[in-house]
Amino acid sequence: MIENIFGIDKDESAIQVAIFSIYLTILSEMEPPDISTFKFPNLLGTNFFCFDFFDEDAEYNHILSCKKIDFIIGNPPWGSDEPEPMFITYMNKRKIKEGNVPIKIDIGNKEIAQGFLLRSSDFSTDNTKCALIVTSKVLYNLQSADFRKYFLHNYIIERVFELAPVRRDVFADKKAIAPACVLFFNYAKGKETDNATIEHITLKPSRFFFMFKIFSINYHDFQDIKQKKLKENDWLWKVLVYGSYLDFNFINRLNSELEMISDILKNENLIFQQGLKRKDGNKQIMVPKLKGKPFLDTKKKQLRPFLINESVQDWDSDSVGYIFKNDEMEYDELFKPFSLLITGGSTPDFISYAAINHFERVFTSSVRAIKIKKESQLGILYSMNTLLCSSLFAYYAIYLCSSVGIERDETQDEEIKSMWYLELPNIIDKAKKIENHEKEKIDIKTKAIHEISVKEQCDSIVIPQLKLSDLEKSLIDYANEVVIPIQQKQNTDLWLFHYIKKDEDILQQYASLFIDRFSESFNSIGKRFVAEIWYSEQIIGMFFKVIPVTDFKKKIVLKNTNCEENTFISKIIELGHSEITDKLFIQNDIRGFEEDFFYIFKPNERRLWHKGIGYLDLYEFLDAIMRRTEAGL
């Protein structure tokens, strides 16, 4: 044992607890007669060291340098407070040591966990495997983009186990909701890292957890990605958490074909600026002349999608305010119309709290303003407002915004600027109807008014202009109708985890994807492609068959399972789950090929048969068929 286990921590109590745990483990493996004569080895100072992990002069550096370390595991501290001296010294020395390399070391947001990831290389051989639990923000924060570039270039990532979507469920202490992930990696030692394949696994809420407090990982929550793709597309990190390669392709199309809000800000010479700061800072000035102006208080939810409530108070100059200098306008001009006001937060369904400011109002830095310089630009603001309150923005937020669905459901300034933009026709008249509709919600409490949400109204304007394929529509719908509600726990009755009734359209829509794709090929050779659905309340199976035209009756046949088939289905359910621990299971789809048909079995769970998942299954079957064909099977 003394040749196999080593530990470092600057907290002496943590070292003592670790040593005590080792002693208990030793005792648990011994027979009672041997315990009375057993002498515990002295581990303090020989195997466990009470030093700072970044102290390169400490004794443990020499001891460990003589060892061939097989595994490095740990849960380093998280935080972005002022870094400690040892950490700063180590990072500075390492930068000097590495010299003029193409990609230089960079620590984002002073996050010490990033330093632990890099320091592991000092104890690594060619075969050392590392696994560290770090804050998920390492993978998504805008400030850590340069760190990720360095890490991807110098380390080979084998696996990412992302826990952020269940951050409120993993820990018994509900206050401990910081997002976590486990990174499995090894130091590349100068080897090429582009072609390394990363297995990305996301642990998400499931019906098993809500019912039995057991986590399960679904088939589609396992994804393989080449490290090169993440080097080329830093935003792909976030897509991997909730999306798929189909979303990656869709987002690439939108990125290449649409402008961004930042393009419009530049081309139209618009102002993008936060409101008043409540404390001092560089390049700020006091703004006492705003005293008495109407104050927009976001803490009282006065800013909503397409609606700004009338202010109930005025700005009090006794409450000191500051604003960043802007050479293009006088500071008080920011609060005059017309501008689009946007908060950092989002609604429960991830659209923006954004509305046009038609009157003079003071607001704090919790609000960003996009201000026009002439009234003829008003259509631009309304186009932005409509986009930011649509399902397209909710899709953008959950898949591309660094904090949304990870920690706090907020968007940063740069993420608002990076949102896709397109000019919407006749938008002023259409958007004013939405504004009036939202005002009526305040003035007239009728059911009919409440049935139409802002998102639905904006979608009726935005979606037709995007010229989306059926696949792309299903991806937006899946994000808005499945991913976001589950993540936000909006369905208190777990509707998305409920079983599908046999007369619902969802199974027909799923099967039709396969029929539409394969029918034409088989029709041309005198055969028919059909789907047979085996239905039960526990599990659903679909058999996709090629039959003679003489046997054809219907494209889709739905049948209930009999007793014999129910026994078979029970076996399928058993095969579809594998145990990792007593609290973690993998929920697999059962898929296979026979000579004239292929099949898929999945639990009867509404979210698993959504059309967006259907496209994923279809393309995976197409890929498998192509590989079988190439192999001559």
| CB 48, CB 23: distance < 8 Å | no
Which residue carries 């080097």 as its tokens?
231
Residues 456 and 557 placed together within one structural domain of the fold: no
> Has residue 32 been placed in a domain?
no
- In tens, the pLDDT along 114-161 reads 999 999 999 999 999 999 999 999 999 999 999 999 999 999 999 999
In this prediction, residue 319 carries a pLDDT of 65
In this prediction, residue 36 carries a pLDDT of 75
- In tens, the pLDDT along 576-592 reads 556 556 556 677 778 88
Query: Is 571 a residue whose pLDDT tops 90?
Result: no
At 182, which helix (H) or strand (E)?
A: strand 180-187
By three-state DSSP, how is residue 46 classified? coil
577 half-sphere exposure, CB direction, 13 A CA radius: 17
Distance CA 254, CA 260 (A): 10
Amino acid making up residue 29: E
Between 94 and 409, name the one with better pLDDT.
Answer: 94
Instruction: Give the pLDDT mean for 479-487.
Output: 92
> Has residue 26 been placed in a domain?
no
Residues 457 and 341 placed together within one structural domain of the fold: yes
> Has residue 357 been placed in a domain?
yes
- In tens, the pLDDT along 338-358 reads 999 999 899 999 999 999 999
Cis peptide before 338 (omega within 30 of 0): yes
DSSP 274-326: E-BBSS--TTEEE-GGGTTSBB--GGGT-EETTEEPPPSSB--TTS--EEE--
What is the pLDDT confidence band of residue 486, given thresholds at 50, 70 and 90? Answer: confident
In this prediction, residue 207 carries a pLDDT of 73
Residues 515 and 448 placed together within one structural domain of the fold: no
- For residue 118, the domain's CATH number is 3.40.50.12420
Tokens of 20: 């005590």
In this prediction, residue 447 carries a pLDDT of 47
Residues 278 and 212 placed together within one structural domain of the fold: no
Name the residue among 116, 45, 51 with its Cα closest to residue 77.
Answer: 116
398: DSSP letter: H
Averaged pLDDT of the chain: 87
In this prediction, residue 487 carries a pLDDT of 86
Distance CA 148, CA 478 (A): 29
10 Å CB burial of residue 134 (0-12, 13-18, 19+) is: buried
Query: Is 235 a residue whose pLDDT tops 70?
Result: yes
Give the residue from 456, 486, 516 where a domain finishes: 486
10 Å CB burial of residue 344 (0-12, 13-18, 19+) is: buried
Distance CA 387, CA 392 (A): 7
Q: Which domain holds residue 227?
A: 51-242
> Which residues make Cβ contacts (< 8 Å) with residue 417, sequence separation at least 6?
260, 261, 262, 265, 272
Q: Could you give phi then psi for residue 198, rounded to 5 degrees?
A: -95, 130
Residues 478 and 510 placed together within one structural domain of the fold: no
Distance CA 143, CA 407 (A): 15
- In percent, the amount of the chain with pLDDT more than 70 equals 87
10 Å CB burial of residue 294 (0-12, 13-18, 19+) is: middle
Residues 237 and 279 placed together within one structural domain of the fold: no
Q: Is the pTM of this model over 0.75?
A: yes
At 231, which helix (H) or strand (E)?
A: helix 227-232
Residues 373 and 464 placed together within one structural domain of the fold: yes
> Has residue 493 been placed in a domain?
no
> Which residues make Cβ contacts (< 8 Å) with residue 157, sequence separation at least 6?
151, 183, 184, 185, 196, 198, 227
> Has residue 3 been placed in a domain?
no
In this prediction, residue 64 carries a pLDDT of 92
Between 166 and 355, name the one with better pLDDT.
Answer: 355
- In tens, the pLDDT along 538-559 reads 889 999 999 999 899 999 998 8
> Has residue 248 been placed in a domain?
no
In this prediction, residue 496 carries a pLDDT of 72
Instruction: Give the pLDDT mean for 260-275.
Output: 95
Q: How many CB atoms lie within 10 A of CB 322?
A: 18
10 Å CB burial of residue 615 (0-12, 13-18, 19+) is: buried
Instruction: Give the pLDDT mean for 461-465.
Output: 97
Distance CA 182, CA 159 (A): 8
What is the pLDDT confidence band of residue 173, given thresholds at 50, 70 and 90? Answer: low
Distance CA 66, CA 141 (A): 37
Least confident of 95-104, 227-236, 612-621: 95-104
In this prediction, residue 565 carries a pLDDT of 55
600: DSSP letter: E
In this prediction, residue 492 carries a pLDDT of 47
Name the residue among 314, 316, 334 with its Cα closest to residue 324.
Answer: 334
Residues 144 and 70 placed together within one structural domain of the fold: yes
Which residue carries 């001891």 as its tokens?
63
How many structural domains does the chain have? Answer: 3
215-218, strands of its sheet edge to edge: 215-218, 584-587, 577-581
189: DSSP letter: T
Residues 217 and 286 placed together within one structural domain of the fold: no
Residues 303 and 229 placed together within one structural domain of the fold: no
> Has residue 99 been placed in a domain?
yes
Residues 572 and 619 placed together within one structural domain of the fold: yes
> Has residue 496 been placed in a domain?
no
| CB 310, CB 357: distance < 8 Å | no
Give the residue from 486, 521, 545 where a domain finishes: 486
Query: Is 449 a residue whose pLDDT tops 50?
Result: no
In this prediction, residue 31 carries a pLDDT of 79
In this prediction, residue 284 carries a pLDDT of 58
Residues 519 and 603 placed together within one structural domain of the fold: yes
Instruction: Give the pLDDT mean for 191-203.
Output: 96
Instruction: Give the pLDDT mean for 493-511.
Output: 84
